[in-house]
Structure 1
Amino acid sequence: MKYHRINKDLFINNRKRYTEQMESNALAIFNSNDIYPISADSTMPFQQHRDIFHLSGVDQEESVLVLFPDCKNEAHREILFLRETNEHIAVWEGEKLTKDAAFEVSGIKTVYWLSQMDNILNTLLAEADKIYINTNEHLRANTEVETREDRFTKKLLAKYPAHQVRKSAPIMHRIRSIKHPVELELMQTACNITEKGFRRLLSFIQPGVWEYEIEAELLHEFIRNRSKGFAYTPIVASGPNANVLHYIENNQECKAGDVILLDVAAEYANYASDLSRSVPVSGRFTARQRQVYDAVLHVKKEAEKLLVPGTMMADYHKEVGLIMQDQLVQLGLIDQTDIKNQDPAWPAYKKYFMHGTSHFIGLDTHDVGLWNEPIKAGMVFTCEPGIYIPQEGLGIRLEDNLVVQENGAPFNLMKNIPIEAEEIETLMNA
């Protein structure tokens, strides 16, 4: 791994938080992701399942975590099953975790090879009454592809039909949404790497540069700072392209007078950052571009003030919508007649600001969390209002990552990344 080793106390703490919420005499199982094939003998780069990583720190394929806090055999209350390594694997694929190394990473003392798992599970499940399975219950999950976790769960429930089944997802959504101080440090590192990439761009962007060249500059800076690369597919959208919310082609020339909407950020140690900035190709905003930019920045600053403990996300998004509505009226994009005649299910402001303002962020860019419970201190959210005006070939979005505090305004993990229009112009013309 490119990243520095994470203190195993984080994973010990995470497992404790998880098992405290399990029912009695229950066993929970978590699987690594597959290495996904492309064609022939080609594969996608491995990405670890975030739940097993959160609970163990193991960042390796073919790994399984078993938690059984009430097991009579204390040695079997936490077990890691790993792919057995050997000299041949070391030569062809590189070093894999040994049992000793797995303990140093995870703090789990009992480590077996994967070939032993069936027999040991038989013994454990003869004692347990309930099984926690790990299904993907993210609200935006695309579940068309069967995962390693899915296959394992199907086989497990067929073999042990008499056990009561419980879901890990509600527990994982709860514990992953409140970030440990070590996690916040890792997310801050991801944001700091993103800052380096963005500052690199401000002296690089000029008329005639291509969107993919901007993407390449970022990737260079991210990887040289121990990131695997982008936390999500990068959006480098110049001019009219900014009105496509998930524009990822990044294949157009950046032209004088246009604004580039950048939604680009680094990962670090599997933790995501998520940045949006809008910068003028020529180094200075036009009067109209600046007017729209300042409106978006105003909405963002006001929205941040609402990210405090006790806030319900549904109420938050409604309130931000009203703030945006006022700005769009001032910009002449909607009027009082539009507001009077609007569909309450799709307010007038949605014509120019059609997405949500905030989402959870952490191990996933769109991280898991409890949307129907009040915000709590330690949660981390994006704040990303935008205004999109196709008829003007202009789209502006501004986004930072914010840690909810017990008292007062949230802490901005991206507070050092330039966002004020004057600072961006100054740096681009230095």
Structure 2
Amino acid sequence: MKYFPISNQLFIKNRAKFTAAMKPKSLAVFNANDIYPIGADSTLPFEQNRDLFYLSGVDQEESILLLFPDSVDPKHKEVLFVRETNEHIAIWEGEKLTKEAATETSGVETVYWLTDFEKVFHELMCEAELVYFNTNEHYRQSVETETREDRFIQWCKKKYPAHPFAKSNQILQNARGVKEPEELALIKNACSITEKGFKRVLQFVKPGVMEYEIEAEYMHEFLRNRSRGFAYTPIVASGFNANVLHYIQNNQECKDGDMLLMDVGAEYANYASDMTRTIPVNGRFTDRQKEVYNAVLRVKDEATKMLVPGTMWAEYHVEVGKIMTSELLGLGLLDKADVQNEDPAWPAYKKYFMHGTSHHMGLDTHDYGALKTPMKANMVFTVEPGIYIPGENMGIRLEDDMVIQENGAPINLMENIPLTVEEIEEWMNK
């Protein structure tokens, strides 16, 4: 891995939070992700199942974690299975975790080779009265591929039909939403890498450069700072392209007079950052561009103030919509009649700002976290309002990552990334 080792105390704490919420005499199972084939002997780069990583720190394929707090044998309260390594594997694929290294990484004392899984699992299932399965129930998920977890669930139900089962997702939604100090430090590091990439790009962008060249500048800076690369597929959208919310082609020329929207973020140690900035290709805002930009910035600033413990996510978005409506009236994009005659299910402001303002962020860019209960301290949310005006060949979005505090305003993990019109122009014209 490119990233520095993470203290296993983080994963010990995370497991303690999970097991504290488990039912008596229950067993929880977490599987690694598959390595996905492309064709012939080619595969996609491996990315670990985020729940398994959250609970163990193990960043290796074919790994399984069992949690059984009520095990009769104390050594089986936590059990980790990893793929057996040997000299041949080390030569062809590189070093894999030994049992000792797996313990050092995770803090799990009992480590077996994967070949022992069925035997040990059967022994524990004979004691367990319920088994937790790990399913993806994120509100944005759309999974069509059968996963390693899916295959395990099918196998387990067939082999142990008398066991009732429960879902681990509800526990993880609550646990993963509130970050530990070590997690906040990792996210902050990802944000700092993103900052370096953005400052590099500010002095690179000019009329005539291609969107993919800008993407390459980010990747260069991310990799040289121990990131694996982008936390999500980057959006580098100039001119009209910024009005396509998930524009990822990044293949057009950046032209003089256009604005350039960049939604990018570095990952670090599997943790994400999520930044959006919109800059003038030629280094100077026009009066209209500045007017719209500052309107978006005011919405962002006001929305940020509402990220405090006790705020309800759904109500928060309603309030942000009211602020955006006021700004759109000021810009002449809406008039009073538009607002008076709006459909409550799709308010007038949605014509120019059609997406949400905030989402949880952490191990996933759109991270797990409770959304129907009040916000809590140490949750990390994005704040990302935007105004999209196809008729003016312009879309502007601004986004930072915020940590909710027990008292006071949230902490901006991207506070050192240029944001104001003056800061952007100064950096671009150094």
TM-score (norm. length: structure 1): 1.00
* Structure 2 residue aligned with 1:273: 273
Unaligned runs of 5+ in 2: none
1:317 is matched with: 317
Q: Does 1:21 align with 2:6?
A: no
Give the Cα separation in 2 of the matches to 1:57 and 1:234.
Answer: 26
Percent identity, please.
65
Q: How does 1:6-405 map to 2 (within 5 A)?
A: 6-405=6-405
- The DSSP-based 3-state class of the residue aligned with 2:126 is helix
Q: Distance in 1 between matches of 2:112 and 2:203?
A: 52
TM superposition shift of 1:80 = 0.4
- Deviation per CA, 1:72-117: give whole Å up to 9, x if none: 1000000001110011100000000000000110001100011101
* TM-aligned CA deviation for residue 17 of structure 1: 0.4
Displacement of 1:143 in angstroms is 1.7
- Give me the whole-angstrom Cα distance separating, in 2, the residues matched to 1:209 and 1:282: 11
> 1:22-53, CA deviations, whole angstroms, 9 ceiling, x for partnerless residues?
00000000000000000111000000000000
CA deviations 1:340-366 (Å, max 9, x no partner) are 111000000000000000000000000
Distance 2:156 2:87 in 1: 32
Partner of 1:428 in structure 2?
428
Q: Within 2, Cα distance between the matches of 1:307 and 1:147?
A: 35
Paired residue secondary structure (1:38): strand
The offset of 1:164, in angstroms, is 1.4
| TM-fit CA distance, 1:156 | 0.6
Aligned-partner Cα distance in 2 for 1:408–1:157: 49
Partners of 1:322 and 1:178 in 2: how far apart?
A: 28
Displacement after TM superposition at 1:405 (Å): 0.2
Write the distance in 1 (CA, Å) between the matches of 2:217 and 2:2.
19
Structure 2 partner of 1:416: 416
Q: Distance in 1 between matches of 2:201 and 2:35?
A: 33
Tell me how far apart the structure 2 counterparts of residues 129 and 332 of structure 1 sit (CA, whole Å). Answer: 64
Residue 158 of structure 1: how far off its partner (Å) = 1.1
Secondary structure of the structure 1 residue equivalent to 2:395: strand
Letter in 1 for 2:30: F
**Structure 2: how far apart are the matches of 1:7 and 1:127?**
32
Query: Tell me, what secondary structure is at the counterpart of 2:79?
Result: strand
Give the CA deviation at 1:369: 1.0
Distance 1:204 1:121 in 2: 56
Which amino acid counterpart does residue 265 of structure 1 have in structure 2? Answer: G
Q: Does the residue aligned with 1:127 lie in a helix, a strand or coil?
A: coil
* Separation of aligned partners in 2, 1:349 and 1:154: 46
Deviations 1:173-204 (A, max 9, x none): 11000000000000000000000000001110
1:387 aligned counterpart, secondary structure: strand
> What is the alpha-carbon distance in structure 1 between the residues aligned to residue 420 and residue 162 of structure 2?
61
Q: CA deviation at 1:142?
A: 1.1
Cα offsets for 1:133-161 (capped at 9, x unmatched):
00000011112111001111111111111
Q: What per-residue deviation string (whole Å, max 9, x for no partner) do you get for residues 286-322 of structure 1?
A: 0000000000000000000000000000000000000
Quote the RMSD (CA, aligned, Å): 0.4
Greater than 3 Å deviation, 4+ residue runs:
none
Q: How many residues align?
A: 430
- 1:255-274 deviations in whole A, cap 9, x for unaligned? 00000000011000000000
Paired letter, 2:8:
K
Give the distance between the partners of 2:194 and 2:277, measured in 1 at CA: 11
Q: State how far apart, in whole Å, the 1-side matches of 2:406 and 2:161 are.
A: 45
Give 1:167 shift.
0.6
Q: Which amino acid counterpart does residue 71 of structure 1 have in structure 2? A: S
Deviation (angstroms), 1:58: 0.1
Q: How far apart are the structure 2 equivalents of 1:154 and 1:172?
A: 21
| Partner of residue 4, structure 2 | 4
Equivalents in 2 of 1:386, 1:161: separation in Å?
51
Q: Secondary structure at the match of 1:249?
A: coil
For residue 221 of structure 1, report the CA deviation from its aligned partner. Answer: 0.1
User: Alignment partner of 1:13: what SS?
Assistant: helix
Which amino acid in structure 2 is aligned with residue 209 of structure 1? V
Which amino acid in the other structure matches residue 209 of structure 2? V
